[in-house]
Amino acid sequence: MLLVIPAVLDSAKLQQVRSLLDQGNFVDGRLSAGESARRVKRNEELESGFRHLQQLNNLVMGSLVQHPLYQAAAMPYRVATPYYVRYTQGMGYGDHVDDPVMGPPGGQYRSDISTSVFLNPPDQYEGGELVIRTPFGQQSIKLAAGDAVLYPSSSLHHINEVTQGVRLVAVTWAQSMLRDPQQRELLFQLYQAREALRTSQPESDASTRVDQVYVNLTRMWSEL
C-alpha cells in the first residue's frame, strides 16, 4: 500500500521545523548506511547530537504518529526516531531496499513501513522525486511541504538527483502490528468503510457489523 497523508504538519509547525533545521549541522549520509547503500547514497543527514533534536522530533513525529490515517494504515507497534535528510544540487539516492531490521542492539525492530515527511515546498528544488516501484509500475512522488507518504519498506525505490535547490525530508520506519502487507491494506480499506458508515449511518446494523468485523480481524491478525 502506498498512501499520501496531506498536511501532517501545518504551516506553523513547518516554520518551527525549518527554523530548527537552519541551526543544525548536516553530515555525510553515508555514515549511517550499510555497505550496499553507501554505493548509491548521496545525501546529508542532521547530526545525531543536535541540541534541539528532541524538540524537532516532538514537532514532526508527534504530528505523524497521532494522525488517524497514519495509525489506521500503519498500525504501528514500534516507530523509529527519524532521520532529517538534506539533498543539495547533484545529490540523490540510487535504487535500494531499506534494511529489514533496524535499530541498536536491544532496540531492534522490523521495518515494515517507510515514511517520508516533506519539509519544504516542491518549488524550492528541481528533481528529487521519490520513485517507488510497485506492482502497478513506478510511482513518482514529490509532495507539498507538510505532506507524508507511506509505502512498504520492501519496495525498491530511489531518489532522483536534485538538479537545483535543496530538498528536505524526515524519514522514519515502523514495525507494524500486522506483518502481512495485504492484511494491513485490507484492514485499512475496512477502516475507511467503517468511518464512512459511522458518519452516514452511525446507528445502523451495517455500521455495527462492520465495526465488529474490523475489531475482530485486528484481534485475529495482530502479532501482539
**Residue 185's pLDDT is what?**
96
The Cα 148–Cα 169 span in angstroms is: 9
Around Cβ 42, how many Cβ atoms within 10 Å?
18
Around Cβ 36, how many Cβ atoms within 10 Å?
11
For the whole model, what pTM was predicted? 0.94
The Cα 48–Cα 25 span in angstroms is: 9
Beta-strand runs (E) in 76-206: 76-79, 83-87, 92-96, 101-102, 109-110, 113-118, 125-127, 130-134, 137-141, 148-152, 157-159, 162-165, 167-176
The Cα 212–Cα 74 span in angstroms is: 20
According to CATH, the superfamily of the domain at 3-176 is q2cbj1_9rhob like domain (2.60.120.620)
Residues 6 or more apart whose Cβ sits within 8 Å of residue 31:
45
State whether residue 25 is helix, strand or coil: coil
Render each residue's pLDDT in the chain as its tens digit; 224 residues: 999 999 999 999 999 999 999 999 999 988 877 677 788 999 999 998 999 999 999 999 999 999 999 999 999 999 999 999 999 999 999 999 999 999 888 889 999 999 999 999 999 999 999 999 998 899 999 999 999 999 999 999 999 999 999 999 999 999 999 999 999 999 999 999 999 999 999 999 999 999 999 999 999 999 98
Domain residue ranges in the chain = 3-176, 181-221
**Residue 36's pLDDT is what?**
72
Residue type at position 163: T
